[in-house]
Amino acid sequence: MKIPANFDWPAGLREFKQSDTERYVFETMDTATQCAAECGRPLLQTDSKAITVDVFTNEPVQDGVIPVRRFKPYVTHATCKGSELTVRRDPGLAIPAEKDVTWVSATMIVGGTEKIPIVVYRIAGSDQISTAFGERVDVQAEVMLGAGFALITDAEMWSLLTVVGEHGPTEQAYARWADARHLQLVVIHDSEEDVVVSVDIDDDMFREAAAAIGEVLWVTGTGVELDIDNGTFVLERAAARGTLLAATTPIR
């Protein structure tokens, strides 16, 4: 991706964003609407813009510890402030915990009669986290791809179901009921099991569908938009960013 000539950005950012640098710079600067400097004036498409990025990282890390990076960007008029990169070391920085997960659940009816229980979730801040290795922007995507989730490029639900159906249930993750109301997503890595998500299901139709087919459809990704009050979700942004992931898991 070519960054426009009127976008001023710090070349040192590439050390941290690696192959995702151009996409990150373009998307962040192109969607900014107001100068983050004191002027506060609108940012027009024709304006010369600059981006300042604060990087927070726990690196260097010991063996067995996942290197994590968080990015906080500020877009300004180039005349208000030039581009800048700051790096702050925080040894205590870690992947978001379960409590940082936002989710909605539903029961979809497909084929006229079959009912599929579905949980759509997003980890808070996952669009600002990056591992130091690999091509992906967020830790969540890397972990779930390793757990057998499929990358979804089309946000249309029927396309998603087709891709997931072709892959079949993942063997590296499963769902389990911690009790009558709480459903957990468990990922298996190097023979170790980690609870990725725990959700409170107060929906008899969901529980009945889950018991009938013995599976749950999980959907996640950076950019997934959730309306908690109405229990709805929008997947287009996540699909466009290349981080929309889905899989069915057996219930154990």
Residue-level pLDDT at 196: 82
DSSP 216-237: EEEEE-TT-EEETTTTEEE-HH
What residues does each domain of the chain span?
A: 7-89, 98-250
DSSP annotation of 96 reads: -
Residue 200, strand partner residues = 182
Beta-carbon neighbour count of residue 156 at 10 Å?
A: 12
The pLDDT tens digits of the residues spanning 166-193 come to 999 998 899 989 878 889 898 887 656 7
In contact, 28 and 75? CB cutoff 8 Å = yes
If we measure between CA atoms, which residue out of 18, 129, 123, 125 comes closest to residue 70?
129
The encoded tokens of residue 10 equal 């710090």
The pLDDT tens digits of the residues spanning 97-118 come to 544 677 788 888 776 678 999 9
Cα gap 107→118, rounded to integer Å: 6
Helix (H) or strand (E) holding 14: helix 14-17
In contact, 233 and 104? CB cutoff 8 Å = yes
- List the pLDDT tens digit at each of the 252 positions of the chain: 689 999 999 999 999 887 778 878 998 898 889 999 989 899 998 999 999 999 888 888 787 666 777 788 899 999 999 999 999 998 887 654 544 677 788 888 776 678 999 999 987 654 444 444 433 445 667 778 888 999 998 989 899 999 999 999 998 899 989 878 889 898 887 656 777 888 888 889 999 999 999 999 999 987 788 888 888 899 998 888 778 899 999 998
Cα gap 171→145, rounded to integer Å: 12
DSSP annotation of 46 reads: T
